[in-house]
Structure formats: structure tokens, C-alpha cells
Amino acid sequence: MPKPSARVEAVQAPIIPIIGDLIRQHPGTLSLGQGVASYGPPPEALAQVATFHQNPGVHLYQSVQGIPPLVDAIAQKLQAENQLRFHRDQIMVTAGGNMAFMNAVLAILDPGDEVILQTPYYFNHEMAIRLANGQPVCVPTDQQYQLQLDQIEAAITERTRAIVTVSPNNPSGAVYSAADLQAVNQLCLERNLYHISDETYEYFTYDGIEHISPGRFDPEQTHTISLFTLSKAYGFASWRIGYMVTPLHLQEALQKIQDTLLICPPVVSQYAAVGALQVGRGYCHQHLATLTGKRNLVQKALLPLEKVFVPTSSGAFYVLIKVDCDLPDRVLVEQLIRDYRVAVIPGSAFGMEAGCYLRIAYGALDKATLAEGLNRLVKGLKTIAGDPKK
């Protein structure tokens, strides 16, 4: 029988479907695993979808880059909110943020080239690098999941092509400082590297902390690849719309890649994105108070546990906890689902191999359901980890 590619065989299996299967095997399980917001899209996005059907021409292939009204709206947003300077041709609309990252690594990597990831990393980034025949090089963050600049620089070799930052961070909820992001961007300039900045959760920051786009430190956009998505902030993850801002010299490569993989992003979703951007970031911000309350609920439930370390989480809708437990994290996750009907994501999927880490996502559930899920999680952790306060 013919065999699958050895390259693909070496890629980790996506963890979300694995956990989803376990949840389906144990009915009644509450999931603290999926990283989405609980609210849906704004009415203005749905109204744009209605206008989509009025123009028969939109059912044909459209621009590889994205439909002009959406590219224009993105350009206005990036200039006003992210303080980026760029040529309009540097924008490319993609089928979600994951595709933007895949486009980027395919455009810049040759077989065996290295990309520096911060651990914990977003698992789809590590997977994409391996699928592109690249080699992820993992650099640990500190105890609060902040960047360690000296270790990042020490990890650079002659094969390094890019350094990746994700801020606000998935899976930790950490938000990197402007000074650290500028330092990474300057290091990339000096060492002739790309800085790939994933800003999926740009609108999700708490405690007065500001999101910073590293591209503002690269006024000519010569080495910064900035990745964005509308999926989280506007509540339409399944519509698959993201976008990227890249150096002009990568545009020909990106056109080849996108035309091969997709031809053009789904046009009906692009119409919805136009409507979402007409509403703007205020749509997300009206939900931040609720999300802050949910984050506080997580901290209140977990901080008293002596066997659990709960770091600061100032962004996204995640908390990555460390459990003082001898069990492998995947065994612990399976036991929590089987015996306590609550699901979380094992930290090993994010590169946290030493120790027992769990990612808790609090955005998808209403507050009452979240509270019940946390009660089950706390009960399970007290029993399994042997917390003396149980």
C-alpha cells in the first residue's frame, strides 16, 4: 500500500479534534478547550451577505489579493489602529489567520530552514513549519510567559529565517511589551530575518494594557510579516477571513501560493468582513467587560489551589496553568473528561513537554456554564493532584 508523506507523518495530530472526540464519547462534558468567543457576528456583517446575492458577478473568481472594498477597509483600519505604513499591494486577504501563517512560511522557507517559536507556541504554527519542510526552533518564555530576548538571540543560526511572536498570546494569554516587540523587530532587521507577528487577539486585552503591532517599528515594512484575523473579534470563526501585511518583495511568491491553494478567499465571507469592519473594534470592545469577568472567575477558582500555578493573563481568552502532578498532561486531560466531565487542552500540544500544563479557554461559555465547568475542574484537580485543601 502506498504510504503518506514522511513529512506529514512527522507533524503532530491536531489536538482540538482529538479532544472533541473524547467529549463526544462522554456526553455532558463541558468544554474549556475551544478558543472562540461566545457572541456571533454583528448585524451589519449579515446585511452585507444579503447584498452579496444581488450581484451575479460575485459568483465568479475574484482577485487573489481580496475584493477591493475589503482591501480598502483593511488599509484604513491598519493605518488608524495599528499605525502601520505600507503600500496597498502589501495587503493580502486569506481564508483565516492560519492560512496567512501557512502562506508566510511557504513564501520564505527552503527545506531545512529554521523558524524560532516561543514556547508555549500556537500548535498550528509548529505544524505549518513542518509541513513547509522547515524546522521549528523552540525558545522558552519566562515563568509569566514573557519573551526572553537573550535566549531568542542565542537561538539564531545560519539557517534561521524568521522569529515568530504571538501577542496577545495563544495559549498563555500573555501580552508582550512594546519594548520587547521592538527589540525582536530590531534583531530581525540586524540579522536579516523576518519577524512574523501573529495579532489574532489584538482587541482582547485587559487591565488597561495596550496591544502593539511590531510593524510600526518597521516603517518601510521590509522584514515584518503581520498576520490578522476577523474570526475572533467579530464572532464568525467558521467564515474563515484573515489578512496579512508583508514586504513588497514577497508579493509574487504569495500570489503563487494563494492562487495554488485557494485562488481567492471565499467572497461571501469577504462581504461579511466589509460589514464587520464598518462596525469596527467597538463591536468587540462591548464584550470585553464580560470577558474580563470570566477571566476573573477563572483566577478566583484556581488561585486558592496549592498544587496549581496560575500566571498572569492579560489578553486573549486563555489561561495556561501548571499543575503539580506526576501524570502526563494528556492522561490528566482524559481523566478530567472521563471522571469529571470537563475538558481542557494539554500543554504538551503547545510545546510544554516538561511538566503538566493545561490551557483553559473561557471565551466560548456563558458565565454560569463557565462557573460549573470550573467547579468540575477544581474538583478534579484537587482529587487527582492531591491538593491538601480538598
Residue 105: which CATH number?
A: 3.40.640.10
Residue 322's domain is classified under what CATH number? Answer: 3.90.1150.10
Q: Is the same domain home to 227 and 313?
A: no
Instruction: State the cell numbers at 54.
Output: 444581488
Q: What is the mean pLDDT of each run of 10 residues along the chain (390 residues)?
A: 89 91 96 92 92 86 94 97 94 96 98 97 96 97 97 98 98 97 98 98 95 96 97 92 97 96 94 95 93 95 94 95 94 96 96 94 95 97 75
Q: Is the same domain home to 10 and 94?
A: no
Q: Is the same domain home to 253 and 297?
A: no
Q: What is the pLDDT of residue 127?
A: 96
Asked whether residue 1 is domain-assigned, the answer is no
Instruction: State the cell numbers at 36.
Output: 472562540
Q: Is the same domain home to 230 and 305?
A: no
Instruction: State the cell numbers at 151.
Output: 535566549
Instruction: State the cell numbers at 31.
Output: 468544554
Q: Is the same domain home to 74 and 189?
A: yes
Q: Is the same domain home to 345 and 331?
A: yes
CB neighbours of residue 200 within 10 Å: 27
Q: Is the same domain home to 233 and 376?
A: no
Q: What is the pLDDT of residue 49?
A: 87
Alpha helices in the chain (DSSP H): 6-9, 15-25, 43-52, 68-81, 97-108, 123-131, 149-154, 178-191, 251-261, 267-279, 282-285, 288-302, 329-340, 367-385
Asked whether residue 63 is domain-assigned, the answer is yes
Q: What is the pLDDT of residue 51?
A: 87
Q: What is the pLDDT of residue 188?
A: 98
Which domain, by its residues, includes 20? 6-40+285-385
Number of domains in the chain: 2
Q: Is the same domain home to 113 and 214?
A: yes
Which of 232, 251, 283 terminates a domain? The answer is 283
Asked whether residue 177 is domain-assigned, the answer is yes
Q: What residues have CB less than 8 Å from 266, skipping those under 6 apart? A: 95, 239, 240, 241
Asked whether residue 160 is domain-assigned, the answer is yes
Q: Is the same domain home to 210 and 312?
A: no
Distance CA 278, CA 271 (A): 11
Q: Is the same domain home to 277 and 295?
A: no
Q: What is the pLDDT of residue 153?
A: 98
Q: What is the pLDDT of residue 362?
A: 96
Q: What is the pLDDT of residue 28?
A: 96
- Radius of gyration of the chain, Cα coordinates, nearest whole angstrom: 21
SS3 (DSSP) at 349: helix
Instruction: State the cell numbers at 183.
Output: 527589540
Q: What string of DSSP letters covers 143-156?
A: TTS---HHHHHHT-
Beta-ladder partners of 226:
197, 245
0.75 exceeded by pTM: yes
Instruction: State the cell numbers at 72.
Output: 480598502
**Preceding amide of 168 cis, omega within 30:** yes
Asked whether residue 357 is domain-assigned, the answer is yes
Q: Is the same domain home to 58 and 170?
A: yes
Distance CA 137, CA 160 (A): 9
Asked whether residue 390 is domain-assigned, the answer is no
Q: Is the same domain home to 256 and 317?
A: no
Which of 235, 255, 283 terminates a domain? The answer is 283
